[in-house]
Structure 1
Amino acid sequence: MTVRAFLKEPLAHFLLAGGALFLLAAAWGGEDETGRHIGIDREDLLVFMQGRAQVYDEETFAGLLDRMSAEERQQLVRDAALQKALYREGQALDLASADPLVRQRVVQQMRLLLMEEAAADMSVSEEEVREYFAQNGNQYRFDPSMTFTHVFFQGEGAQEKAAETLKTLRGRAVPFEQAGQYGERFLYQLNYSDASQPIVASHFGEDFARAAFALETGSWQGPVRSEYGWHVVLPVSVDAPRSPAFADVADRVREDALAEKRQQAADRALDTMLARYEIDVEDGILR
């Protein structure tokens, strides 16, 4: 059996996971879990990185660690120390035994407990909601939208067919509802109502979307090229991007403001808990 074939076997996954847990136990098993001292060395960081990514390849992560900036290493040390601290706090509450097989679950449980306690019964005032909207209004902007129909051609001579059909459509003043009598079947829709620019781009391509939103409304225009062929387009209306009134999105803003407030409270709780520990970093880790 080749190495590639072996790595596809369920047994290989089991052995790799077991090896990672063995490394985790070796890295953490000898420490005084009751004290306030947390030691972080290179091996701790490599074990932490592999466990977080659920990918067990020490050589790859060693390379990633070596290429990290000082700021990235500082954050990594904090995350690894936080995980150890959370585990110890969870162990003090007897959430699980010291078995390394359940260490990750204990850390997750302790993190959730701290976050839930920090954000319990939290609410936001009307003033906080409006302040959040004032600071984050751009994320509630409505995309430009367009109502249109089109006639599609593809393959050899498609552009010429579209140009000839444009003359026919204009000459006969073909209305919106009769567009389906011309051209070829398109992969997506024939008619689009209040379609946002991202939606149009996802169906036709970015170049088509930019061109279509610049067309004059009320008459057949084109030909316009898409990722699939050529189109003759009848734009009915084009609405520019706009910022909604607060009342139109108040409920959504309130949910977002509360979520941010809860996250900030949870982050403070984690920092407060971690501050109770003395973190001793091996020489050369932070440079």
Structure 2
Amino acid sequence: MLSILKKPIARIILFGLSLAAILLIIYGPKQPGLEDKKVLVGNADVAQLIASWNRTWNRMPTEEELSGMLENYVREEILYREALNQDMDENNSMIRRGLIVQMNMLAESQAQEKKISEEAIRAYYDLRKDQFTRSPIYSFTQLNFDGGIASEEIEKIREKLNADKLTPTAKDLPGNKGMLPRNFEKAGADEIIRTLGENFIQPLEELELNTWEGPVRSGFGWHLVYITEKLPAEPLPLETVKDAIITELQYEEARAAKEQFYTELRQQYDVVYEGIAKDLLND
């Protein structure tokens, strides 16, 4: 061992290692060079800032606003670089998630550039027409009674109303005179449910027209119902639901683009599963 240290080359190596250790102790780890400390703000950066401002405020920025954006851009760039120099990006779940979101957005943006054709809209509508159906529409009068009254008593009132051939236009009809509206004109499911509750609307389809029917139970008690018009459910016109269909198609296109983007990337990687992960996938 001593004979090796006597050789000139061994002395040079030992001297170099000692000098490196001393310099590391005195000056610390190597700092980024001058090139790493240079922040270049070019025309492309300015154009991007202006475009971002215009999308948000729908106008061009003033000179003062643009100066403020440039200062903020430089501030963020410096802080970003310093964070990278200190390895803050490694094993950081928030940064990892943010980068994944950006990659997904990049993939979805490819689908957003694709225009949805009229043929695709029509095909989607024809295939899923049942999803764009207007609920039944009813015109009726309801008479409300306290829920504590026996249903048999309400049935007797109904029989007397029909026997006397009293219609909704008759005066002094029985029932509570509370806050509930008695008359509904061309009311859809949403309006009826909002006013009288889901339990009320369910039996309406089975009730006869132009006669007092019931009793029907709701959260407000008992009801006798006189239906004058009943329009069955039917598909909404394409023009009415066109915007909703375009939104749905854009979502499906974006999802498909994201999956295609990942599939192409996945083929470039060799994924090796070990240990428990390997056992799970082999089951």
TM-score range (shorter-chain normalised) is 0.5 to 0.7
Find out whether 1:219 has 2:214 as its counterpart: no
Q: 2:271 aligns with which of 256, 269, 279?
A: 279
| Corresponding residue of 2:103 | 110
The change in CA–CA distance for 1:148 and 1:115 in structure 2 (over 3 A counts) is: same
8 A Cα contact 2:145 2:223, kept in partner: yes
The change in CA–CA distance for 1:284 and 1:257 in structure 2 (over 3 A counts) is: same
8 A Cα contact 1:158 1:229, kept in partner: no
Instruction: Give how far 1:250 is off.
Output: 3.2
- Partners of 1:103 and 1:257 lie apart in 2 by 29
Q: 2:114 aligns with which of 113, 122, 134?
A: 122
| Corresponding residue of 2:138 | 146
Instruction: Give how far 1:149 is off.
Output: 2.3
Find out whether 1:269 has 2:254 as its counterpart: no
The change in CA–CA distance for 1:154 and 1:285 in structure 2 (over 3 A counts) is: same
Instruction: Give how far 1:123 is off.
Output: 0.8
Question: TM-score when scaled to structure 1?
Answer: 0.55
Instruction: Give how far 1:216 is off.
Output: 1.5
The change in CA–CA distance for 1:107 and 1:176 in structure 2 (over 3 A counts) is: farther
- Partners of 1:186 and 1:283 lie apart in 2 by 69
CA RMSD in angstroms comes to: 3.2
Instruction: Give how far 1:172 is off.
Output: 6.4
| Corresponding residue of 2:125 | 133
Instruction: Give how far 1:185 is off.
Output: 6.0
Q: 2:223 aligns with which of 225, 231, 241?
A: 231
8 A Cα contact 2:111 2:250, kept in partner: no
Paired AA for residue 129 in structure 2: G
Greater relative CO (CA pairs within 8 A, separation 6+): 1
Instruction: Give how far 1:139 is off.
Output: 0.9
Give matches, 1:1-287, under 5 Å: 97-98=89-90, 99-116=92-109, 118-167=110-159, 169-170=161-162, 171=164, 173-175=166-168, 182-184=174-176, 189-197=181-189, 200=192, 203-206=196-199, 208-281=200-273, 282-286=277-281, 287=283
Paired AA for residue 273 in structure 1: L
The change in CA–CA distance for 1:166 and 1:145 in structure 2 (over 3 A counts) is: same
8 A Cα contact 2:139 2:187, kept in partner: yes
Question: TM-score when scaled to structure 2?
Answer: 0.55
- Unmatched runs of 5 consecutive residues or more in structure 2: 1-83
Give the total of aligned pairs: 190
The change in CA–CA distance for 1:186 and 1:255 in structure 2 (over 3 A counts) is: farther
Partner-residue secondary structure (3-state), 1:156:
coil
Instruction: Give how far 1:101 is off.
Output: 4.2
C-alpha distance after superposition, 1:123-149 (max 9, x if no partner): 111111111112222211222232222
- Unmatched runs of 5 consecutive residues or more in structure 1: 1-93
The change in CA–CA distance for 1:280 and 1:146 in structure 2 (over 3 A counts) is: farther
- Partners of 1:100 and 1:247 lie apart in 2 by 45
8 A Cα contact 1:150 1:233, kept in partner: yes
C-alpha distance after superposition, 1:19-75 (max 9, x if no partner): xxxxxxxxxxxxxxxxxxxxxxxxxxxxxxxxxxxxxxxxxxxxxxxxxxxxxxxxx
8 A Cα contact 1:148 1:236, kept in partner: yes
- Partners of 1:241 and 1:140 lie apart in 2 by 10
Instruction: Give how far 1:235 is off.
Output: 1.1
- Partners of 1:177 and 1:102 lie apart in 2 by 72
Q: Identity, % of aligned pairs?
A: 22
- Partners of 2:169 and 2:117 lie apart in 1 by 48
Paired AA for residue 279 in structure 2: G
